């Protein structure tokens, strides 16, 4: 059942590549804007790189949240999902995973290239990519709650940022922190363990909270 949902969403993403590419290019543009804003001084940029890449990833992931449920909502598929005999939490988990595959994974793959723009050393690039690999699924999981709550509301897109961004803060701190710790020569294992713990906690709670939110929004 889970695979049906994921397969369908991936198929839709393949047929509508523009959506995927917009998010990715947003990510690239935001990251590339910072040197223009703060100046090309490489030492400054190297220090700021993990934070910039992570904040841009947060924003890119958040911007694509609107699409998670709204298309299904507009064409009536969401009603069918809600009325499926399969557990709604499971179906929602499928939607979250496909959201991550469609928006999160391209960000992870693009991150090392952007890191080079900021002259990050190789080891930092690896840690940055791994931290995004571990952190971006959390963004999709938590973001889904906000997307479900704001479904069909006026100005839902802006509202979702108010709801979701504060909840993203721990991921930002430990994601960017891991890279900084590794460049400073400190261990980043603790950061990764904590990110992993967040991932597990959100895997357990987010589908359930999102399912409840969808039922509320569809009433």
* Dihedral sign from CA coordinates of 6, 8, 11, 16: negative
* Eight-state DSSP code of residue 13: H
Site membership for other proteins, residue 37 (CB under 8 A) = no
Site membership for other proteins, residue 21 (CB under 8 A) = no
Site membership for other proteins, residue 86 (CB under 8 A) = yes
**Alpha carbon of residue 133 to chain centroid:** 10
Site membership for other proteins, residue 11 (CB under 8 A) = yes
Site membership for other proteins, residue 82 (CB under 8 A) = yes
Site membership for other proteins, residue 46 (CB under 8 A) = no
Q: Of 16, 29, 110, 2, give the one whose Cα is nearest residue 67.
A: 16
Site membership for other proteins, residue 193 (CB under 8 A) = no
Site string for other proteins, 151-180 (x = CB under 8 A): --xxxx--x--xx-xxx-xx--xx--x--x
Torsion angle (degrees, nearest 10) of CA 168, 145, 2, 172: 0
Q: Of 68, 88, 50, 85, give the one whose Cα is nearest residue 173.
A: 50
Site membership for other proteins, residue 75 (CB under 8 A) = yes
Q: Count CB atoms within 10 A of the CB of residue 86.
A: 13
For other proteins, the binding residues (CB under 8 A) are 1, 4, 8, 11-12, 15-16, 71, 74-77, 79-87, 91, 142, 145-146, 149-150, 153-156, 159, 162-163, 165-167, 169-170, 173-174, 177, 180-181, 194, 198, 205, 209, 212-213, 216-219
């Amino acid at each position: 059942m889970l695979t049906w949902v994921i397969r369908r969403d991936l198929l839709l993403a393949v047929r509508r590549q523009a959506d995927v590419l917009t998010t990715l290019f947003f990510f690239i543009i935001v990251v590339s804007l910072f040197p223009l804003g703060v100046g090309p001084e490489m030492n400054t940029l190297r220090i700021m790189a993990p934070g910039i890449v992570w904040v841009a990833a947060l924003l890119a992931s958040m911007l694509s949240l609107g699409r998670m449920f709204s298309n299904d909502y507009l064409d009536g598929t969401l009603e069918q999902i809600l009325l499926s005999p399969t557990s709604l939490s499971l179906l929602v988990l499928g939607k979250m995973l496909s959201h991550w595959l469609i928006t999160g994974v391209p960000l992870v793959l693009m991150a090392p290239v952007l890191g080079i723009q900021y002259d990050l050393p190789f080891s930092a690039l690896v840690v940055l990519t791994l931290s995004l690999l571990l952190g971006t699924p959390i963004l999709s999981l938590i973001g889904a709650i906000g997307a479900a709550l704001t479904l069909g509301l006026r100005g839902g897109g802006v509202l979702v940022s108010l709801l979701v961004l504060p909840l993203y803060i721990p991921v930002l701190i430990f994601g960017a922190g891991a890279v900084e710790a590794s460049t400073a020569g400190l261990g980043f294992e603790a950061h990764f363990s904590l990110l992993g713990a967040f991932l597990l906690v959100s895997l357990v709670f987010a589908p359930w909270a999102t399912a409840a939110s969808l039922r509320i929004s569809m009433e």
